[in-house]
Amino acid sequence: MSANHLKTLSAGWQTILMFGLLGLVFALIVSFVQPLQYGSTARLLILQDVGSSVDAYTASRSEERIAENLSTIIYTSTFLDQVLSAGFDIRANTFPTDSANRRRAWHKAVTATVSRGSGLLTISAYDQDVRQAEQVVRAVAFVLTGRVGEFTSGGNVQVRLIDAPLNSRWPVRPNIFANTLTGLILGGFVGIAVVLVQTEKIRRRHQLHG
């Protein structure tokens, strides 16, 4: 960016600030329109007995691939059915009866991530009621630890719960801080664009009438 552009932006700082604040306010409105949700998170370790003939690196990579496969399977309707039938206290109306909305609601309710270089699988669930979020996480962990053989093709695979569900004390969705920061930054960029466009229009007008 040239010195002239910097000078232009410095002169138009009020416009940039105004758009930044508008973006922040818009982000706040969008955030508070959404229901506030709490989170519950548990961690599971994937273990596979591959024998002494396989080196540690290969074994670790194999466990990581299994964890990645499981993190994908968790989002399926079949897995959701097993979660709901696992006997935990999950509200019956949490997930719609029609398959499309049911799957969409399940995708929003849980996240599954794998720590790179390991078989560590992190499961998180979200709900307006933190106890419901915890019940979902416990049900997911129960299904994985007890029925992992149904979801994996290789043998000798075990899933162990190494971190019991940890509940958030405050709502974690939506992320109000991240949303407002994003709104402020995007609004600021819009303000910069407005200042530069207006300055260019004035410059051209002066050239035409100069």
| Predicted structure pTM score | 0.76
66: pLDDT strictly greater than 60 = yes
Instruction: Write down the mean pLDDT value for the chain.
Output: 86
Q: What tokens does 130 get?
A: 């933190």
**Which residue spans within 9-156 are E strands per DSSP?**
38-48, 110-114, 120-127
Q: What is the pLDDT of residues 109-134, one digit of tens each?
A: 999 999 988 889 999 999 999 999 99
pLDDT at 174 (0 to 100):
78
- Rounded Cα distance between 104 and 112, Å, is 15
Domains of the chain: 3-33+174-209 (no CATH), 38-167 (3.30.70.1130)
* Integer angstrom CA distances of residue 172 from 78, 145, 175, 178, 181: 28, 27, 6, 11, 16
pLDDT at 28 (0 to 100):
80
Enumerate the β-bridge partners of residue 120: 45
Enumerate the β-bridge partners of residue 159: 46
Q: What is the pLDDT of residues 178-201, one digit of tens each?
A: 888 888 899 889 988 888 888 878
Q: Are 125 and 141 in contact (CB under 8 A)?
A: no
